[in-house]
Amino acid sequence: MFVSRRQIRFADVDPAGIVFYPRYFEMINATVEDWFEHIGYGFGQMIRRDGYGVPLATIEVDFKRPSELDDWLDFTLDVTAMGGSSIQAAITARCKDEIRLIARPVLVFVKLEATRPVRIPDALRQKIEAYQRGQS
Amino acid sequence: MFVSRRQIRFADVDPAGIVFYPRYFEMINATVEDWFEHIGYGFGQMIRRDGYGVPLATIEVDFKRPSELDDWLDFTLDVTAMGGSSIQAAITARCKDEIRLIARPVLVFVKLEATRPVRIPDALRQKIEAYQRGQS
Amino acid sequence: MFVSRRQIRFADVDPAGIVFYPRYFEMINATVEDWFEHIGYGFGQMIRRDGYGVPLATIEVDFKRPSELDDWLDFTLDVTAMGGSSIQAAITARCKDEIRLIARPVLVFVKLEATRPVRIPDALRQKIEAYQRGQS
Amino acid sequence: MFVSRRQIRFADVDPAGIVFYPRYFEMINATVEDWFEHIGYGFGQMIRRDGYGVPLATIEVDFKRPSELDDWLDFTLDVTAMGGSSIQAAITARCKDEIRLIARPVLVFVKLEATRPVRIPDALRQKIEAYQRGQS
């Protein structure tokens, strides 16, 4: 099962002693990056070799509880829907069993030179569907 | 009228040549910070002198069009609702007349040592209401 | 005379209430970017149009005094030497008249596809020399 | 032996496809943070419980070779000297056996409320000396 773990470090924490929220979006982005690697299509291949990208169309985030220095967070990712060129996901960050945030991004698969949505290639669709079925 | 302007710099742009979205959240955060300064209650006073903070409860962002190196973005902020301890806002980023994103954060006013919502003090409520009426 | 001004914001400050030093390097980088724009060869042209870059070979930084939230810093840049493909600079950040840091970067002019130093083109050399003579 | 490993991610890489150098300083800072944890005095204790900090007095960095997306970097740290309130270190980042950078920071041990150097407490000196002798 896919989990992206990271520890809250000094760089992530604001003067109030809790995570500075733009840092959460770097963690969310890194979770997406780790997840593509997990299903077998890392950003090195996707972006540099193949010229695709996955910018965000929308995102909704519900911040449940603050996180502090040294907390370990586990980020999990569910694919909630896949369209022709879009992927809807739910990313949950937990510290032990406490939910810290739930993010619902919609990623769009694009050809980078055009920044225009393109159909998700079949090989990648199959990897995502395998993940949805719990087979990766 | 309140506008927070900033230019997209090299640090903001990803290998695909467009704004790396966690950077947008730093810009959104800076817009909120500039806006509190604009209405007369800057973070220096709020956080350091008075021990309050305004963490996010939720945020929704709709990314309309990508932004590129050297684009100048104008961020505006509307207060769409104010509760006992929460402030709902709509932040719009435009490049010239093109909308690049609309963010809808809900900020919660908290006492920092407790990280618990507290009622927005009357002096601040009046500043926010004056802004909503177009008087600041 | 070239000055790049910026205000220390919440995002720049660590839990100890002073600038988190990696943020200074973003400011130093932005100063270099602003300076190239000032002398007439912005990063949009240099990097995106012409395929050049200016990575660091070395940097030395002397942190004189800490900076705090809301401080306004003035960054100035002197070109202390120019070689075939390298530019030595001294960047000083001041708050009012107090020096906060002095950074001494050595930039190398490279062709991006090769990441190999190339001779600084004459048109750019002349812009840099004009700046050194105080004519831009 | 102390090693802080991290993979270069999309967030670290500039439009030219190599590490954006301010990101290296976040990695250097994280290495220092990991190292204090390694010797038994993590930032949670140092900063939050005890009110000390370790800002930089100076740093020199020699960037030997660029790093790219997905590279794994190993950061090691040698304590080259310890004064009354200062710690000189050499931090080396390697990808496999290739040195990518060498950073030479001088950290100053300070009491945070005063931002003034204080003598490194004996318990911490002993941890650092044990590390220097290769015993942690």
* Residues B12-53: tens digit of each pLDDT: 988 767 898 999 999 999 999 999 998 888 888 888 888 888
- For an interface test with A, the pick among D5, D8, D10, D18 (most A C-beta atoms closer than 10 Å) comes out as D10
Tell me the CA end-to-end span of chain B in Å, nearest whole number.
7
Which of B15, B17, B69 is nearest residue D13 as measured by Cβ atoms? B15
User: CA A25, CA B93: separation in Å to the nearest integer?
Assistant: 18
**A chain contacts of residue B56, beta-carbon cutoff 8 Å:** 21, 61, 63
> Which residue in chain C is spatially nearest to A22 when comparing CA positions?
C11
> Which residue in chain A is spatially nearest to B52 when comparing CA positions?
A16
At A133 the pLDDT is 80
- C-alpha A17, offset from chain centre: 25
Angle made by CA atoms A118, A61, A124, in degrees to the nearest 5: 30
Which of B22, B55, B63 is nearest residue A55 as measured by Cβ atoms? B63
Helix D21-38 vs helix C21-38: crossing angle, to nearest 10: 170
User: CA D35, CA D90: separation in Å to the nearest integer?
Assistant: 12
Structure tokens at B52: 């309050």
Q: How confident is the model at residue A56 (pLDDT cuts 50, 70, 90)?
A: very high
A13 Cβ under 8 Å from any chain C Cβ: yes
What's chain B's length in residues? Answer: 136
At A40 the pLDDT is 86
User: CA D1, CA C131: separation in Å to the nearest integer?
Assistant: 49
Say yes or no for a CB contact (<8 Å) between D69 and A17: no
User: CA D113, CA D95: separation in Å to the nearest integer?
Assistant: 39
Angle made by CA atoms A24, C29, C82, in degrees to the nearest 5: 160
CA of A69 vs chain D CAs: smallest distance (Å): 7
Window from A63-67, A131-135, B26-30 with minimum mean pLDDT: A131-135
Q: Mean pLDDT, to the nearest integer, of D57-70? A: 95
pLDDT in tens, D26-51: 999 999 999 999 888 888 888 888 88
Q: How confident is the model at residue C102 (pLDDT cuts 50, 70, 90)?
A: very high
At A84 the pLDDT is 85
Query: Which residue carries 């997406």 as its tokens?
Result: A32
Q: Mean pLDDT, to the nearest integer, of A18-26? A: 92
Q: Contact A21/A15 with Cβ under 8 angstroms?
A: no
Give Dmax over CA atoms of chain D in angstroms: 47
User: CA C100, CA D102: separation in Å to the nearest integer?
Assistant: 24
Say yes or no for a CB contact (<8 Å) between B61 and A66: no
Structure tokens at C120: 């600084």
Amino acid identity of residue D50, one-letter, is: D
C48 Cβ under 8 Å from any chain B Cβ: yes
Say yes or no for a CB contact (<8 Å) between A9 and D17: no
The pair phi, psi for residue C5, each rounded to 5°, is -100, 140
Q: Contact A110/A124 with Cβ under 8 angstroms?
A: no
Q: How many CA atoms lie within 13 A of B106 on its CB side?
A: 15
The pair phi, psi for residue C94, each rounded to 5°, is -125, 145
Domain boundaries along the sequence of chain B: 3-132
- For an interface test with C, the pick among B70, B71, B107, B113 (most C C-beta atoms closer than 10 Å) comes out as B70
Q: Which of A21, D62, D45 is nearest to B33 (CA)?
A: A21
Q: Per CATH, is A3-132 categorized as 3.40.50.1980?
A: no
More confident residue, B27 or A42: B27
User: CA D102, CA D90: separation in Å to the nearest integer?
Assistant: 7
A98 Cβ under 8 Å from any chain D Cβ: no
Tell me the CA end-to-end span of chain A in Å, nearest whole number.
7
At B114 the pLDDT is 64
Q: Where are the beta strands (DSSP E) in chain C?
A: 4-7, 52-53, 56-63, 72-82, 86-95, 98-108, 110-111, 116-117
Query: Which residue carries 């075939």 as its tokens?
Result: C84
Say yes or no for a CB contact (<8 Å) between D22 and C18: no
Q: Contact D31/D100 with Cβ under 8 angstroms?
A: no
The pair phi, psi for residue B119, each rounded to 5°, is -65, 135
Name the DSSP letter for residue D44.
I
At B115 the pLDDT is 64
Which of C11, C26, C70 is nearest residue B42 as measured by Cβ atoms? C70
At A114 the pLDDT is 64
Q: How confident is the model at residue C101 (pLDDT cuts 50, 70, 90)?
A: very high
Structure tokens at C37: 């724009």
D78 Cβ under 8 Å from any chain C Cβ: no
**D chain contacts of residue B112, beta-carbon cutoff 8 Å:** none
* Distance set, CA D52 to CA B67, B108, C18, D108, D126 (Å): 41, 30, 13, 10, 17
User: CA A46, CA A54: separation in Å to the nearest integer?
Assistant: 9
Q: Which of C134, C131, C108 is nearest to C38 (CA)?
A: C131
Q: Which DSSP helix (H) or strand (E) runs through C129? A: helix C122-132
The residues that bridge with A5 in the sheet, in sequence order, are A74
Amino acid identity of residue D103, one-letter, is: A
Does B76 have pLDDT greater than 70? yes
Q: How many CA atoms lie within 13 A of B49 on its CB side?
A: 7
Q: Contact C16/A16 with Cβ under 8 angstroms?
A: no
CA of A135 vs chain B CAs: smallest distance (Å): 30
What's chain C's length in residues? Answer: 136
Q: Which of A28, C115, B119, A127 is nearest to D18 (CA)?
A: C115
H-type helices in chain D, by residue range? 21-38, 43, 122-132
Long-range own/partner contacts, residues D114-117 (CB < 8 A, 24 or more apart): D115/C18, D115/C66, D115/D55, D117/D84, D117/D85, D117/D86
Does C45 have pLDDT greater than 90? no
Q: Which 3 state secondary structure label does DSSP give A22?
A: helix
Subunits in contact with chain A (3 or more CB pairs closer than 8 Å): B, C, D
D15 Cβ under 8 Å from any chain B Cβ: yes
Q: Mean pLDDT, to the nearest integer, of C67-82? A: 93
Q: How confident is the model at residue D95 (pLDDT cuts 50, 70, 90)?
A: very high
At C128 the pLDDT is 78
